[in-house]
Structure 1
Amino acid sequence: MTVAFLVYRFVMGAAALLASPVAMAAADPAPRFEKAACAIPVAADEKIECGVLIVPEHRGKKGSRTIRLPVMILRSTASSPAPDPVVYLPGGPGLSSIDGRTTGKGNPFLAERDQILLEGRGNKFAQPSLACPELNALRAAGAGDGEQLAAAARCRKTLVAAGVDLDGYSSAEAADDLDDLRRLLGIRHWNLIGFSYGTRLAQTVLARHPDGVRSVVLDSVLPIDINYDEVAAAPLRRALNLVFDGCESDPACTARHPDLRGRFAAAVARADREGTAGPGGRLLRGRDIVDALAIGLQQPQNIPALPKIIDELAAGRAGGLAPWLQPQRSEFNWGLRLSIWCGEEMPFEDPARMAAQASPALGLGGANGRTATPELCAAWKVKAADPIANVATRTDVPVLILAGEFDPVTPPAWGRRLLRTMPNARFVLIPGQVHGAMFNRCGGQLTIAFLRDPNAPLNADCVAKLTGPIFPE
């Protein structure tokens, strides 16, 4: 035999060995989609198809185990649906994509195209789920930082003991999940709709997999390059100031509620100094008042009532806060929330600036709007993300940015910020709206029109007709 022939036999034999079932079994498993029963009950008389996306838990780690992510496909009612479905990315991080999605009735997207929902890795119906029920209960009960810290440590220990690789739960991995699903379903392009944290995930998809995206709608933007916990108090202060300014510019409102800004400050200071009697005999401090008003600001219909409620607070009466002082059930999947936040936000934030956001000197009674603390992330112990996770996304994909005028969580300026790196983006401010600018008739009309043709001129007549909040006579 010649040397050349021996080399040929060796190469071919090695190739056959690499292709053998034994060798392939040792390789990392390829992502796959399987049809399956729906993870939640759905309407039997509707065209809803379900399955599961099976992907590696941590693509960056060789030999990673697989995880299972439920998928729902709500089929369009159109006779000839558009070929590009819409994918909704919820807020959080830590909110389920499919929880409560039992029907497609009333879903405006289905009149023209399918809608696809992928349960995010680690979320409520995923396998595994990173739920921390004890931490949820403690937060709903207003437990102290020490109790929450201990509960987080216990939850982490339980998850790790079950084999969970917490470093695998990131926006980058979730973006890769979405693109794997798109390819496995044979979809060339689709449209993303992100809300709150979902806008951050959409920006990550645009950075990693732009070729699969036809258009994007970003509602209540969380920019990738904003260090949220360093400025957590600013959005709420801005929204409250808009209420004060709105009343002051209305002659009837300012006559009934003079110096509303000063009266608010006095109410918070009084509660901190001596307490304010609340419903059910509860003694309210300044932080309790501000937290309740922050909840009230989540619904636009509450805004006109705020001047009267603040006036009453200044007089020592807190009855108007009653609907917002009820224990707030924590819907977040805290294990996933901490894995993402502690890996992608905390490593790039300044602890001193973060601590300042809970200072009583801001006039908010020490209200704490931060998502996490350095202590909580130290207990969670996840690896810091690559610095690219904190760099603004640049893209030429058509983007519609929607912002609510009174948003107390993600201010409109954050949406405008994206215009610097997204030349095909358009920004629309929805008067009178709050966090979730799309969830009203005008926002919905703009979204549907944009999806129909992302490059067409946008008719914003409905915006021009919105009056914003009207304070009662």
Structure 2
Amino acid sequence: MMTQTNLAKLPVIVAVMMIATAAHASGAKRPAPRFEKAECAVKVMPGERIECGVLYVPENRRKTRSRTISLPVMIFRSTAATPAADPVVYLPGGPGLSSIDGRTTGKGNPFLMERDLILLEGRGNAFARPSLACPDINVLRAQNADPARQTEAVARCRAALVASGVDLDGYTSAEAADDLDALRRLLGIRQWNLIGFSYGTRLAQTVLQRHPEGLRSVVLDSVLPIDVNYDETAASSLRRAIDALLAACANDPACDTRYPDLHARFATLVADADRSGVAAPDRMLRGRDIVEAVGAGLQQPAIIPTLPRIISEAADGRLAGLLPLTRQTPSSFNWGLRLSIWCGEEMPFETSLRMAAQTAPALDLGGVDNRTATPEMCAAWRVSPADAKANQPVKSDVPVLILAGEFDPVTPPAWGRRLLRTMPNARFVQIPGQSHGAMFNRCGGQMTLAFLHDPGAPLSGDCIAKLPGTVFGLDAGTAAPAMK
């Protein structure tokens, strides 16, 4: 290292040049974002009009000397003779789900009939460099492992990522929103349309907050409002969805006749499982296992009509319908990114006592823990808290379509309606019989396409009016599915 004493021994002109160079370096601006065409990060079907590239951005825009990270981009070209000038950008859930994993073809994608579709791999995700994967956490979460073991895995993953040079404070919704706007500008797009699903709705709200000038319209499916403290209500949202299911059965004559007193029988099933267990072929099921299985069924619209039968049979000791829903495999969440966002943007605004109440016996859910992270996990992850703006409702005049599923156990419909208070050009639609991901059905898809075609036009509810909702009677005489 060059010391002041050594510096004094150099010729004056050299010393002056070195001082000037050091001053320039200390005040140097970080490299500007850039986009370069490149091969696709995932293998795509040959012959399709898919163009790929890489977006290079600072890892942490709040630091002058931040290094550059790379984010893959995929552009699916429209099949229209004259595509609309405003593409669609899809923002997946999570946080921690890849935007491009498995996106091998544009065939059958309805958005391409009118406009291009652009996918940007979020910073820290699977195909970004660096990736913040923590596979040990995925395994432990699937096993419902002891919280202490999960926290130890969090600390190990953090240490490994930091040792590799990762600045965990750079992985935030604000940075991701700035990445999106940088890509828009670099591609020469005046405005585009965002479609956010689950956590993607939170990211879309952050873009509305930071870069509204670049947005023509926004679709929010299964809304996570910025100002909702998720972990303080995580199990309560599941309780609401279960109660809605049981009430719907009770109000359906065929379902109520075949499965009477289902609400009480479900409560007894959970309580018995907690007290003495329910014997399954490979393990003993507890109340939490029963509730998580029903919660898994509630996320699959095709399964929802069968849940009254599944619950009734389980209460009678027949588990064939329930057991497939109890199988847990490791998720594909990128836990390093998930923790950086959650521990910086959610945990600082949440109350520990309210979070702990979400696992309390009073909810009659077997102590199920639907929180994304615990205070102990975030204490081990150690990232800087976001400023207050990260927990304030977004005000926007941009046209917004809000979609919600009737039985969503993760993001209840009331959360979507909540946005209407600060978004005067937003419209809310609840789709009967649907769940988390209200857009992923014929009616939800039709409404989304109509809105994108003309965000200012009246929105037809004809397809909603024609939906039969959940017809439990169709399942009344079916046999339980075979074990696999």
TM-score (ref. length: structure 2): 0.92
Please list, as runs of the form range in 1=range in 2, the aligned pairs for 1:82-231 lying within 5 A after superposition: 82-231=84-233
Shift of 1:25: 10
Q: Percent identity?
A: 71
On the 8 A contact 1:275/1:285 being kept in 2, the answer is yes
Provide the secondary structure at the position in 2 that maps to 1:73. Answer: strand
Tell me how far apart the structure 2 counterparts of residues 370 and 23 of structure 1 sit (CA, whole Å).
Answer: 44
Say which SS state the counterpart of residue 354 (structure 1) adopts. helix
Residue 318 of structure 1 and its aligned partner are, at CA, apart by: 2.2
Please say if residues 276 and 317 of structure 1, whose CA atoms lie closer than 8 Å, have aligned partners that are also in contact: no
Aligned to 2:296: 295
Distance in 2, Cα, partners of 1:245 & 1:83 = 47
Equivalent residue for 1:15? none
Contact 2:42 2:101 survives alignment (8 Å):
yes
Give me the whole-angstrom Cα distance separating, in 2, the residues matched to 1:48 and 1:223.
33
Equivalent residue for 2:257? Answer: 255
Which amino acid in the other structure matches residue 138 of structure 1?
L
AA partner of residue 221 (structure 1):
V
In structure 2, what is the Cα distance between the partners aligned to 1:80 and 1:104?
17
In 1, distance between residues paired with 2:240 and 2:162?
41
Amino acid at match of 1:349: E
SS at match of 1:82: coil
* Partners of 1:277 and 1:317 within 8 A in 2: no
Contact 1:410 1:435 in 2 (8 A): yes
Q: Distance in 1 between matches of 2:174 and 2:389?
A: 10
Q: Using a 3 Å threshold, how does the CA distance of structure 1 residues 204 and 368 change in structure 2: closer, same or farther?
A: same
1:13 aligned partner: none
**Which residue of 1 is the match for residue 417 of structure 2?**
416
- Which residue in the other structure is 1:464 paired with? 465
Match of 2:383 in 1: 382
Post-superposition Cα deviations, 1:143-179, rounded to whole Å, max 9, x if no partner, equal: 2111111111000000000000000000000000000
Query: What residue in structure 2 maps to residue 63 of structure 1?
Result: 65
The correspondence of residues 324-335 of structure 1 with structure 2, limited to 5 A, is 324-335=325-336
Quote the Cα distance in structure 1 between the aligned partners of 2:183 and 2:26.
Answer: 22
Q: Measure the CA separation in 2 of the matches of 1:24 and 1:42.
A: 44
Deviating 4+ runs (over 6 angstroms)? 22-25
- Per the TM alignment, residue 467 of structure 1 is displaced from its structure 2 partner at its CA by 1.0
Cα offset, 1:305, TM superposition? 1.1
Q: Which residue of 1 aligns with 2:17?
A: none
SS at match of 1:70: strand
- Distance (whole Å) between structure 2 residues aligned to residue 311 and residue 400 of structure 1: 38
Q: Once structures 1 and 2 are overlaid, which stretch shifts more, 157-166 or 240-249?
A: 240-249
Contact persistence 2:405–2:436 (CA under 8 A):
yes
Per the alignment, in what secondary structure is the counterpart of residue 402 of structure 2?
strand
Match of 2:32 in 1: 30
Please give the alpha-carbon distance, in whole angstroms, between the structure 1 residues aligned to 2:288 and 2:425. Answer: 42
- In 2, distance between residues paired with 1:154 and 1:281? 31
TM-superposition CA deviations, 1:268-305 (whole Å, max 9, x none): 00000000012x23100000100111111111111111
- Determine the C-alpha separation between the residues in 1 that align with 2:131 and 2:37: 20
- Distance across 1 between alignment mates of 2:82 and 2:440: 27
Structure 1 gap ranges (5+):
1-17
Q: What SS does the corresponding residue of 1:214 show, helix, strand or coil?
A: strand
Distance 1:28 1:341, change over 3 A: same
Structure 2 unaligned segments of length 5 or more: list them. 1-19, 477-484
Q: CA deviation at 1:329?
A: 2.3
Q: Is the 8 A contact 2:311 2:322 kept in 1?
A: no
Counterpart of 1:11 in structure 2 is none
d(CA) in 1 for partners of 2:83, 2:402: 25
1:317 paired with 2:318, answer: yes
Q: Which digits, 9 at most, give the CA deviation of each residue in 1:333-358, with x for residues without a partner?
A: 00000000000000000000000001
TM normalised by structure 1 equals 0.94
Corresponding position: 1:428 with 2:432: no
Contact between 2:28 and 2:64, CA under 8 Å: does it hold in 1?
no
Q: Aligned-pair distance for 1:252?
A: 2.0
Q: Which moved more, 1:305-314 or 1:89-98?
A: 305-314
- Give the 3 Å change call, closer, same or farther, for CA 163–221 of structure 1 in structure 2: same
Query: How big is each residue's C-alpha offset from its partner over 1:117-156, in whole Å with a ceiling of 9 and x where there is no partner?
Result: 0000000000000000111122223321111111110000
1:42 counterpart residue number: 44
Measured against aligned partners, the alpha-carbon deviations of 1:173-201 in whole angstroms (never above 9, x if no partner) come to 00000000000000000000000000000
The structural deviation recorded for 1:255 is 1.6
Partner SS, residue 327 of structure 2: coil
Counterparts of 1:432 and 1:212, CA distance in 2: 34
- Tell me the matched-pair count: 454
CA distance in 1, matches of 2:282, 2:118: 48
* 8 Å CA contact 2:277, 2:286 repeated in 1: yes
Which secondary structure state, in structure 1, belongs to the residue aligned with residue 141 of structure 2? helix
The 5 Å alignment of 1:318-397 reads: 318-397=319-398
Q: Distance in 2 between matches of 1:379 and 1:260?
A: 42
Cα distance in 1, alignment partners of residues 27 and 230 from structure 2:
43
Q: Report the alpha carbon displacement of residue 244 of structure 1 after superposing the two structures with TM.
A: 1.0
What do you get for the CA RMSD once the two structures are aligned? 1.5
For 2:444, the aligned partner's letter is G
Matched position secondary structure for 2:162: helix
